[in-house]
Structure 1
């Protein structure tokens, strides 16, 4: 088995190095070397992770395109992880969001990868979590675009630094979000297709009303609502500024490090629960409560322990 590259090697290696490493994260996920690599990446996550979610057809891919161009004009490197639903036959990504992104193939500082949700209904698989941990350690901005069908919004909260919720005017989405309690999740809201005029302004007003009772009361962060048209560029600078403001807010208040530690603890519990169920989770609850700094190494140790228990013949 070839030795794993260092994070610095991947930063310097461009798209090819990123692509090869993501493949190894999937094919060698159970090895101690990969677990150690990912735990190191968790402690070196200098890049900011923007989670982009919203219902299908809201314009997430078009907005992602516009965000890539904006970040690249500022000299920032960008990685996009597009989470798609999975084929029940092959397990692969069905939508292939990267085919809808108009990126420059010669730009070494832009990397796009589609990844299947696997057995998560629109959510983030273990491979996606590992990919996010690695990408945020080697690029300036990571955009995680979910398919947006319910569970993904909750999963994204546990994987990103800033959650951007996209709402389309005139579709009744805002009322559905209010009913579902999803307004408790976003850090920034974008009303897309702002060039539609009055209907976009009305949607923004509805969302602002729903946000008045959201978690901003608890965190001190007032969730901004931005009207943006990725097609015309209207409001894009304001949206990028709002995302940047949220990152600065987390730095200023010291919220980023504790948030990432909580996320890593959540990853660990979720990985154990997904593979071994609630019973497996209960047998190692003490270990899980005491470890979140090295989630991947701890998961590997727990998985080996629980697998050995399952393979052990039952006592007569």
Structure 2
């Protein structure tokens, strides 16, 4: 088996090296070597992870394209992980062509990968989590674009540093947003299609009202509501500034490190639950509570081997 490349080699290797490594993460998943590599990547994250979520048709792909151009204009390397619905026949990503992203094929600092949601109902598969761990260790900005059909919002908040919720005019009033239970999740809200005028302003007002109701006890970070139009460019600079400010806030307050450690503990619990169910979680519950989140992938390997041995011996 070919030795795994180092992070420095991947940072300098361009799109081809990164693409090959992501393929290895899928084909050689849950091996000791890959697990150790991913833990090393977790410990050496260099980039920020931006999550984009919202209902289909809200304009996430168009916004992703605009953010790519913004980041590249400031000489930041960008990777996009687009989570798409899965084909029931092949298991692959249905929207894998990503035709809305107008990237330069020759730009080695822009990397785009589509990945199927598989059995996660629009959420993040284990392969997507591994890809995020890798990408944030080799590029400056990682954009994760979700399917946006319910579960993905909750999954995405456990994998990104800054979550942007995209809402379009006509989405509903404050009460509807509260019923949906999504206003506790975003760090930034983007009201798309601002060129619709009064309808966009009304949507922004509704979102601001829902935020004031759901986050009345949280004052450490005030969630900004940005009205944007990817078609005209209106508000895109304000949105990019809000995203940057949230990232700076996390670093300055020390929350970034604790947030990522908690995310990695969540990844470990989720991997155990996916492979062994709630019974598996109960067996290793104490270990999961005391784990620091520093080595989630290698910890899962050890837990997996232990649980399989117990099952074979009839102990679990």
Q: Is the 8 A contact 2:173 2:206 kept in 1?
A: no
Once the two structures are TM-superposed, the CA of residue 307 in structure 1 deviates from its matched residue by 1.8
The answer as to 2:223 corresponding to 1:223 is yes
Q: How many residues align?
A: 315
Deviation per CA, 1:50-106: give whole Å up to 9, x if none.
000000000000000000000000000000000011112211111226233111111
Moved more, 74-83 or 163-172: 163-172
* 1:2-36 Cα shifts (integer Å, max 9, x gaps): 11000010000010011000000011112111101
Deviation of residue 219 (structure 1)? 5.5
Q: Does 1:125 align with 2:125?
A: yes
* Distance in structure 1 (CA, Å) of the matches to 2:139 and 2:219: 28
Q: 2:155 & 2:27 partners in 1: Cα distance?
A: 23
CA distance in 2, matches of 1:201, 1:271: 42
Partner of 1:301: 302
- Residue 163 of structure 1: aligned partner: 163
Question: How much is the aligned-residue C-alpha RMSD, in angstroms?
Answer: 1.5
Q: CA deviation at 1:175?
A: 5.0
Map of 1:99-118 to 2, 5 A cutoff? 99-118=99-118
Render the CA deviation track for 1:225-271: whole Å, top value 9, x for unaligned.
00001111100000000000001111111110000000000000001
For residue 99 of structure 2, give the secondary structure of its aligned residue in structure 1.
Answer: helix
Mapped pair 1:144 → 2:122: no
Pair 1:207 & 2:207 matched: yes
TM score, norm. by length of structure 2: 0.96
Name the structure 1 match of 2:267: 267
Query: Is it true that 1:310 corresponds to 2:284 in the alignment?
Result: no
Give, in whole Å, the separation in 1 of the partners of 2:39 and 2:257.
15
- Secondary structure of 1:64's counterpart equals helix
Question: 1:151 and 1:219, CA in 2 relative to 1: closer, same or farther beyond 3 A?
Answer: farther
Counterpart of 2:80 in structure 1 is 80
Secondary structure class of the residue paired with 2:213: coil
Shift of 1:215: 3.6
The structure-2 alpha-carbon separation of the partners of 1:10 and 1:202, relative to structure 1 and needing over 3 Å to count, comes to same
Give, in whole Å, the separation in 2 of the partners of 1:219 and 1:154: 22
Separation in 1, partners of 2:211, 2:97: 29
What is the alpha-carbon distance in structure 2 between the residues aligned to residue 216 and residue 138 of structure 1? 37
Q: Which residue of 1 aligns with 2:154?
A: 154
TM-score normalised by L of structure 1: 0.96
Q: 1:181 to 1:241 in 2, by over 3 A?
A: same
Other structure's SS at 2:190 match? strand
Give the equivalent residue in structure 2 for 1:56: 56
Q: Deviations over 1:137-160 (max 9, x none)?
A: 000000000010010000001000
Shift of 1:310: 2.4
Which secondary structure state, in structure 1, belongs to the residue aligned with residue 13 of structure 2?
helix
